[in-house]
């Protein structure tokens, strides 16, 4: 009897795999996950749709790797800040700076996360998104509360409202930021922090 040959599984080099994921991330960010087809990703990558399946078994797998890679790097940076023993203000400054560095490294992933995380988190494969959000909120609120207690931040500060303001102000930058622009992530963070922590009005004597 004739035997049926299995399709050879092709393993992309790390560089090529990263290129394909970067392409998929840009398409997901621009069109939305549900509206994006494997064919569209393949077209943007300059390959046949069938060829893409040699590297990834589904667009869900691609999205999972995009988001999990972004969040792993984000928490590597955040955990280093939170474990550094900094004061409340210095912690906020370092978290904002690290956030802009992540936007610089993973702009498309941040945009996807903002658009898709809420409904994706209901799926078993993406439960880690909800876990990350809880951890994220705890880190920021804890730092703000610590600053109020220490007298570094105003006693009348609504920490939850402040957290939402800073969070949204920082992460919405993914909608306009482009790597390689005239300002580095650190410079943008410095400007944002100046406005958030010191205001924009001229100080009177």
Structure tokens belonging to residue 5: 């040959």
Average pLDDT across the chain, whole number: 91
For 41-81, how does the pLDDT look when each residue is reduced to its tens digit (9 = 90+)? 999 999 888 888 889 999 999 999 999 999 999 999 999 99
Residue 179: pLDDT band (50, 70, 90) is: confident
Task: Check residue 183 and give left, alpha or beta (phi > 0: left; psi -120 to 50: alpha).
Answer: beta
Q: Which two tokens stand for residue 33?
A: 């996950």
Closest C-alpha among 85, 58, 198, 78 to residue 146: 85
Please state the pTM of the whole predicted model. Answer: 0.87
pLDDT for residue 5:
40
Confidence (pLDDT) at 49: 85
Confidence of residue 21 (pLDDT cuts 50, 70, 90): very high
Tokens encoding 92: 């906020």
The answer to whether 62 and 23 have CB atoms below 8 angstroms apart is: no
CB atoms within 10 A of CB 115: 14
The tens digit of pLDDT for each residue in 102-148 reads: 999 999 999 999 999 999 999 999 999 999 999 999 999 999 999 99
Within its chain, how far is the Cα of 121 from the centroid? 15
SS3 letters for 184-205? CHHHHHHHHHHHHHHCCCCCCC
């Amino acid at each position: 009897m004739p035997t049926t040959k299995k399709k050879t599984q092709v393993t992309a080099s790390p560089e090529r795999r990263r290129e394909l994921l970067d392409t998929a991330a840009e398409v997901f960010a621009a069109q939305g996950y549900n509206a994006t087809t494997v064919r569209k990703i393949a077209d943007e990558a300059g390959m046949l749709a069938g060829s893409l399946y040699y590297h990834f078994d589904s667009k869900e797998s691609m999205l999972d790797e995009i988001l999990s890679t972004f969040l792993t790097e984000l928490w590597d940076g955040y955990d280093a800040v939170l474990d550094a023993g900094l004061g409340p203000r210095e912690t906020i400054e370092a978290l904002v700076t690290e956030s802009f560095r992540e936007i610089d490294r993973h702009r498309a992933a941040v945009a996807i996360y903002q658009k898709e995380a809420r409904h994706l988190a209901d799926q078993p494969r993406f439960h880690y998104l909800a876990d990350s959000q809880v951890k994220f909120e705890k880190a920021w609120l804890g730092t703000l509360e610590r600053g109020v207690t220490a007298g570094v931040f105003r006693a009348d500060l609504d920490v939850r409202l402040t957290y939402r303001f800073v969070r949204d102000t920082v992460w919405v930058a993914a909608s306009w930021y482009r790597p390689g622009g005239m300002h580095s992530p650190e410079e943008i963070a410095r400007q944002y922090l100046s406005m958030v922590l010191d205001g924009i009005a001229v100080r009177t004597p």
